[in-house]
Each structure stands twice: as structure tokens, then as C-alpha cells.
């Protein structure tokens, strides 16, 4: 599985990343801002990565996309690009948890120990998942992605015997597409192009405000 070059994409935070991976080696990687810009930059980064790697779109054997949770709009952009390449090339699309890519794409991906990876979920909460790195055996999940109260972060990390990893945290890191190269293949889930959507983790702020204003779910009939 996935012997041909892999196009990997993640945009679960306000920094998007793109990587070309071949034989478990990162050929090239790019990062772009996903917020506060007057133009979409993730797709141009994909095009540049393919150009630098010397790979044509027909050479891509599969696409791997960070599945979230995270920034609603950024995740949708990444998923749309990933689906487009997979559909257009008739190639598989694999989803991988973005919190796993945070560890797998970091300098600690081969350093033994437990890591509690977290991203801001707003409203006093964090998206969190715990992973363990065993030298020689790669990364395995200890606890799945869940919402965690910010006030409980330190106690949870202590209970799990884990170092805290996240943007601006004890171990400063964010999800990187290049982490796909360090993931166990069992962690990459092949998805149905027609049905798959990223795991947003919670409703978008815009939808929450709309439902509060209108006192009904967005998809409910008036």
C-alpha cells in the first residue's frame, strides 16, 4: 500500500502544511498561513511542492489528509483539495488524526515517552489525545481524541505520565503533513470520497451563533 509518492496535507490550525513523501522519506514540505490573508495559499503550496519534488500529478499514488479536529474553515479547504486530487487521479484518500500528525511531524516523533497533544477548542476547552512513542515500534494511541477542560490539562498530563505538546505549550508543535512519514500505516484510514468529511470536533462558531439567534438547529425545518 502507498508505495508511490504520497501527497500529504494538513490544515487543522491557522498554519497549513503540505508534504511529498516517498518511501517513508519527506521529499519536500511547505507551510502557509491559513488566516488573515487575501488569497488562498494552500493549493499554490501543493503545486510548488509537486514542482520542487519533480512529480507530476499523475505520479501521485495516494493522498493523506489531516482529519482534524481543528479550524473549521481550514479543514474544509484541505479536505476539498485532498478530495480533488484523489477523485481526479482515481487514487486512494487516507485520513489521519491531526493530533497524531502533531507528534509524528515533530522532533519528538522518535523520542520514547508519552505525549498529550492538544489544540485550542475554544470555550475553555482543548482537543486532546495521548500517544506513546516506543523506539523501534513507532507511535501508538493511548487515549483517543476528546474534549478536555483547559483547567484539567496539567492534572490529566500528570495522570497519564505525558508531556504536553501543542502550540505554545511545554513542547511547542503544530500538526504537520510531513508526520505522515512517521505514522504507522494502520493509523491511515482509507475513506470513501463521496462521504468523508473532516472531524471538526464541534460546530463552527458561525453555526453556534446562528442557532442561538434563531433558537433552533441550523438543519431543522422552521
- Against a cut of 0.85, is the pTM above it? yes
Beta-bridged to residue 115, according to DSSP, are 131, 163
What integer pLDDT is reported at residue 177 of this predicted model?
A: 98
Cell of 156: 490529566
- Domains recognised in the chain with CATH numbers: 6-99+175-214 (3.30.420.40), 108-170 (3.30.420.200)
Beta-bridged to residue 122, according to DSSP, are 125
Ranges of the chain whose pLDDT falls below 50 = 1, 206-208, 210-211, 217-218, 220-222
Rounded Cα–Cα distance for residues 91 and 102 (Å): 25
Q: What percentage of the chain reaches a pLDDT higher than 90?
A: 79
Tens digits of residue pLDDT in 63-120: 999 999 998 889 999 999 999 999 999 999 999 999 999 999 999 999 999 999 999 9
Cell of 27: 521529499
Amino acid at each position: 500500500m502507498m508505495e508511490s509518492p504520497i501527497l500529504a496535507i494538513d490544515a487543522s490550525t491557522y498554519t497549513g502544511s503540505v508534504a511529498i513523501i516517498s518511501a517513508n522519506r519527506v521529499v519536500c514540505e511547505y507551510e502557509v498561513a491559513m488566516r488573515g490573508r487575501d488569497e488562498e495559499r494552500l493549493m499554490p503550496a501543493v503545486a510548488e511542492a509537486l514542482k520542487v519534488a519533480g512529480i507530476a500529478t499523475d505520479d501521485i499514488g495516494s493522498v493523506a489528509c489531516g482529519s482534524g479536529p481543528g479550524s473549521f474553515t481550514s479543514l474544509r479547504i484541505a479536505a476539498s483539495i485532498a478530495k480533488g486530487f484523489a477523485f481526479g487521479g482515481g487514487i486512494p484518500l487516507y485520513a489521519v488524526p491531526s493530533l497524531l500528525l502533531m507528534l509524528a511531524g515533530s522532533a519528538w516523533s522518535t523520542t520514547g515517552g508519552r505525549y498529550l497533544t492538544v489544540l485550542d477548542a475554544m470555550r475553555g476547552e482543548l482537543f486532546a489525545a495521548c500517544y506513546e512513542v516506543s523506539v523501534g515500534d513507532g507511535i501508538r494511541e493511548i487515549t483517543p481524541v476528546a474534549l478536555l477542560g483547559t483547567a484539567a490539562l496539567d492534572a490529566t498530563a500528570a495522570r497519564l505520565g505525558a508531556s504536553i505538546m501543542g502550540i505554545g505549550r511545554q513542547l511547542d508543535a503544530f500538526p504537520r503533513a510531513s508526520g505522515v512519514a512517521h505514522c504507522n500505516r494502520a493509523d491511515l484510514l482509507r475513506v470513501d470520497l463521496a462521504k468523508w468529511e473532516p472531524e471538526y470536533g464541534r460546530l463552527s462558531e458561525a453555526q453556534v451563533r446562528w442557532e442561538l439567534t434563531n433558537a433552533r438547529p441550523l438543519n431543522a425545518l422552521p
